[in-house]
Amino acid sequence: MSEKTLIAAINEALRQEMERDPMVLVMGEDVGVDGGVFRATDGLHAKFGEDRAIDTPLAESAIVGAAIGLAAYGFRPVAEIQFAGFIYPAINQLFNHAARLRMRSQGQFTCPLVVRAPCSGGIRALEHHSESMEALYAHVAGLKVVIPSTPYDAKGLLVQSIREPDPVIFLEPSKYYRAFKQEVPDELYAIPLGEAVIRQEGSDVTLVSWGSMAKPSLQAAADSGKSVEVIDLRTISPWDRDLVLQSVRKTGRLVIAHEAPITGGFGAEIAACVAQEAMYDLKGPILRVGGYDVPMPLARREDYYIPSPQRIAKALQKACEA
Amino acid sequence: MVSKTAFEGKVEYWQVLDENGVADKKMEPKLSDAQLKAMYEHMVLCRLFDRKAVSLQRQGRMYTYAPMEGQEAAQVGAMHALGPDDVVFPTYRDHGTYLVRNAPIEQLFEYWMGFEEGLAMPQGVNVFPLSITVGNHLPMAAGMAWGMKLKKHAKLAMVCFGDGATSEGDFHEAFNFSSVHKTPLVLLCQNNHWAISVPLNKQMASQTVAQKALAYGAWGIQVDGNDVLAVYAAVKKARERALKGEGPTLVECLTYRMTMHTTADDPKKYRTDAEVEPWKKRDPLLRFEAYLSARKIFTPEYKQQVEQAAVQRIEAAVKTAEGFSAAPETMFDFVYEQKPWNLAEQRDAFLKGD
């Protein structure tokens, strides 16, 4: 056990999984010699060589497409996409192929692939570096979608993602890469996908959030003056419906916060599901807090765009008025 | 059995100024003293703008920035070969495209300081918003060039990109599209030998970038990218071809990224100083100064005067940019021409602090 940042936890998960299983490899732009632009793969090239920490040409579609081919041939590739908004050339490979390979071959070919990418804003990065697109991936059947918000979760969820039999989109809030440290076991452990976690128990209102909104949510809960049950979803697809319903049945109120644009965000799916399953347990309307329906702005406006603890706290208070 | 050569091709390499700045008289483009001075002044402006930008970032006065040092000849030479109405599609490293077109320097700083307003160029600059994603602007440039052809406008599009971008599908798709439709497009590749940490020989197995043109039935040429006159001559020729309806040209400028990929990058992780060293002697400014000196245009006093003028413009621009502010709610204003209800409501809520 030692204190680690989220990026160190990811690096450790990759290294230990590569040690455990010779079929695991990492690939992408600058992941080899350079160790990745955020240093997620630091040291892997030196330890495992260029055939397992692979510097690819600058071609996202080929990175993901080749990773699908490797996965279908028995490897466990972990492909890195450098920045959140750089993934789109690979969307065709992800949506039309990675997600459907099992079905199209009726189980003959599978795609045990992880695509890692940073997500969300808050680090004053350049354009196309700060998007929160989890709802897009969650909309595609055949993909699993994971977003850790702590070093402990990052390691355990990445280990499990590598061991999953199906493709996983693993989104890492870049704001948390080095923002704080947490005790993380030195040995390997896996956290099952699809399990949310209660960060703080409460009785007035349930607050569901994930990824970059984890910290602002805890802050908002503290500032709201209400007894807030804070849930970190951790896996977006499949999401932990049971835990959310159980909490809402207890509190009778629900606020969902995500950094992604509000329209069509994953909060809409959660709200619809809770309205359907727990209508008569609700004491008031379900509220959502999200980014605005605008493209992620440049550095000077990102703090105006990203939901603040104040916005979330207001929603918590408003939910409790009902 | 039939066995014959189905295709043969070759790629020329052009250099006008050797490493000492001595011109090859047969290749030397006919440029007036005024034109040569304008080129030199733009190169100096690029160099000093770039160094100022890096220094602002290092002082925490600007966010991440992509330096262009070493690539002044490629950008300035190419831009001078264009007409003022030709539309240019730059990347994040092509500050020279904006500077040659006399874009307000304060706006360039404003963009890199995180304001969208920076890219709102005045009429006449004719530079498309720079591309941050790699290679994605090539198909758009091919399309705009096609539009110019369809409208019978005597102008072209020039798209700037690096060696790394040639690995993207968009490069190949755009090039093929442009060749098939014979669109007036110049593909200006600044081969600076590095895509962040990935060296050229890990990026491609082909001997040159220029030869990729042969696969698309287009003309490709490799030039000494640190020789402003070679770049000028090649792009001028490419422009003539484009305007005659002969289709796209790939101009590969052999140059070098003298510093980091961006200010967030540390090249010491992946390349040695020994590799960089020989390129210092090939500095595009030194070479051009030697040439201008031989032509009796360049003197130390002239250099000082050019640098002083550039510094004045740059410092004034920094001052303006650092005093710039903009209302945050304009983030709602340029999503659509007319705001749908959701945006209108969100804007109101934002202003009320909800």
Where in chain B are the domains? 12-323, 327-354
Tell me the three state secondary structure of residue B81: coil
Residues B226 and B72 sit within 8 Å (Cβ to Cβ):
no
Reading the block at residue A180, the tokens are: 């704080």
Mean pLDDT, 10 residues at a time, chain B of 354 residues: 95 97 96 98 98 98 98 98 98 98 98 97 97 98 98 98 98 98 98 97 97 98 98 98 98 98 96 96 97 97 98 98 97 97 97 89
Domain B12-323 sits in which CATH superfamily? Answer: Thiamin diphosphate (ThDP)-binding fold, Pyr/PP domains (3.40.50.970)
Question: Do residue B167 and residue A59 have CB atoms under 8 angstroms apart?
Answer: yes
Q: What is the pLDDT of residue B354?
A: 80
Tell me the three state secondary structure of residue B348: helix
Alpha-carbon distance B286 to nearest alpha carbon in chain A (angstroms) = 32
**Preceding omega of B328 cis (within 30 degrees of 0):** no
Residue-wise pLDDT for B234-257, tens only, equals 999 999 999 999 999 999 999 999
Chain B residue numbers with beta carbons less than 8 Å from the beta carbon of A314 are 354
Residue-wise pLDDT for A272-312, tens only, equals 999 999 999 999 999 999 999 999 999 999 999 999 999 99
Q: What is the ipTM of this complex?
A: 0.95
CB contact, 8 Å: A91 with chain B?
no
Question: Do residue B198 and residue A55 have CB atoms under 8 angstroms apart?
Answer: yes
Reading the block at residue A255, the tokens are: 């606020």
Reading the block at residue A119, the tokens are: 């997500």
Question: Do residue B331 and residue A311 have CB atoms under 8 angstroms apart?
Answer: no
Q: Using DSSP bridges, classify how beta strands A197-200 and A228-232 pair: parallel, antiparallel or unpaired.
A: antiparallel
Reading the block at residue B109, the tokens are: 């700083």
Alpha-carbon distance B237 to nearest alpha carbon in chain A (angstroms) = 30
Chain A residue numbers with beta carbons less than 8 Å from the beta carbon of B134 are 58, 86
CB contact, 8 Å: B328 with chain A?
yes
| C-alpha–C-alpha distance, residues A318 and B296, integer Å | 77
Residue-wise pLDDT for A100-115, tens only, equals 999 999 999 999 999 9
Reading the block at residue A16, the tokens are: 């230990």
Please determine, for residue A215, whether its predicted confidence score (pLDDT) is greater than 90: yes
Nearest to B198 among A29, A35, A301 (CB): A29
Residues A209 and A232 sit within 8 Å (Cβ to Cβ):
yes
Residue of B61, B196, B263 to mutate, interface with A, max A Cβ within 10 Å: B196
- Bridge partners (DSSP) listed for residue B162: B190
| C-alpha–C-alpha distance, residues A136 and A266, integer Å | 9
Chain B residue numbers with beta carbons less than 8 Å from the beta carbon of A50 are none
CB contact, 8 Å: A30 with chain B?
yes
Q: Pick from B171, B107, B110, B162: which is nearest to B136 by CA?
A: B171
Q: Which residues of A are catalytic?
A: 129
Long-range contacts, stretch B293-300, CB < 8 angstroms, 24+ apart: B293/B21, B294/B21, B294/B22, B294/B23, B295/B33, B295/B36, B297/B33, B297/B36, B297/B37, B297/B40, B298/B40
Q: Which pLDDT band, with edges at 50, 70 and 90, does A30 fall under?
A: very high
In B, minimum Cα distance to A311 occurs at B354
CB contact, 8 Å: A264 with chain B?
no
Domain A2-184 sits in which CATH superfamily? Answer: Thiamin diphosphate (ThDP)-binding fold, Pyr/PP domains (3.40.50.970)
User: Where do the domains of chain A lie?
Assistant: 2-184, 197-321
Residue of A86, A92, A298 to mutate, interface with B, max B Cβ within 10 Å: A298
Question: Do residue B196 and residue A263 have CB atoms under 8 angstroms apart?
Answer: no
CB contact, 8 Å: A43 with chain B?
no
CATH number for the segment(s) A197-321: 3.40.50.920
Please determine, for residue A322, whether its predicted confidence score (pLDDT) is greater than 90: no
Contacts across the A-B interface (CB distance below 8 Å): 107
